[in-house]
Amino acid sequence: MSIPDHIRAIFGFGQGARQSGQAQQRETVRQREREQALRPCIADHATLDTLIAETGYGAFAEDLHRNASACVYFFDLDDAPEAPLGATRFGGLPDLSPGTDWPVSPAGAPLSFLAQIALQDVAETSLPTGLLSFFAGDWDTMDRSFPIRVLHQPTGTPLERRARPVDIDAFDCPHTARLHPIEARIAPGLSFPEYDIDWIGRLETDATDGADYDALEEGLYHRAEVAAGIAR
């Protein structure tokens, strides 16, 4: 699932869901995401070794370890309408320092606030401390290009919850200008090639007798829905 698709899955039913059917759909999505957030991800190479042994993929052990990349997983948890200033979350209103301008597109339209990450939640990385705030424009453009801005506010910077500068209809992408605030949990882990069709195909077709590809795939890709990953 692409990041835009995943964001739509998380927030799509929360944008002014005026009809009861839409509200029920959104709660169904939220319940599924809560359940996924409790599932274990592949946290390290020792966890990967356990999965390899359980699924009978010992012949591919070296290949699987070589294709594993260190990352951090972001799991969305519960609604967070009153999240503390500077907390990691998706959606809602951004926490910005006084005087920081709301990011805009090249045409001057405000970008949608997508998420913020308290970097102290991301353990064992070389990232600086503080808060990262992510903004983006309309990703449904014909040429598939859209403006992105990431702001870094160092630890100790005063923060305020910033109101939207203009009406939603004036944003670069009105459909994503009002995303529902969701609490997020961060965990270190390993990620694997998701779009390398040749590599995935070899895992399935070249497996030895008794190997369980479906269980391997479930372990590698579906123990947790990933909203984003940062390579370490």
Angle between helices 3-11 and 20-37 (to 10 degrees): 120
Q: Quick one: residue 141, left, alpha or beta (phi over 0 = left, psi -120 to 50 = alpha)? A: beta
- pLDDT for 92 beyond 60: yes
CA-wise closest residue to 189 among 132, 120, 124, 116:
124
Q: In this predicted structure, what is the pLDDT of residue 89?
A: 92
The string of pLDDT tens digits covering residues 104-159 is: 999 899 999 999 999 988 866 677 889 999 999 987 765 667 899 999 999 999 99
Mean of the pLDDT values across residues 190-195? Answer: 88
The string of pLDDT tens digits covering residues 19-59 is: 456 566 666 665 665 555 555 578 899 999 999 999 999 99
CA-wise closest residue to 186 among 124, 108, 126:
124
Helix H, strand E, coil C: the string for 177-217 is: CCCCCEEEEEEEEEECCCCCHHHHHHHHHCCCCCCCHHHHH
DSSP states of 15-41 as a string?
SS--SHHHHHHHHHHHHHHHHHHTS--
Is the pTM higher than 0.85? The answer reads no
Residue type, 6: H
Identify the band that residue 12 occupies on the pLDDT scale cut at 50, 70 and 90: very low
Count other C-beta atoms under 10 Å from residue 222's C-beta: 11
What ranges make up the beta strands (E) of the chain? 69-79, 89-90, 95-96, 112-118, 131-136, 148-153, 160-161, 182-191
Token output for 1: 């699932």
The string of pLDDT tens digits covering residues 56-89 is: 999 999 999 999 998 888 877 778 788 899 999 9
CA 168 remoteness from chain centre? 23
Q: In this predicted structure, what is the pLDDT of residue 34?
A: 56
In whole angstroms, what is the distance from residue 1 CA to residue 101 CA?
Answer: 32
Contact 175, 185 (CB under 8 A): no
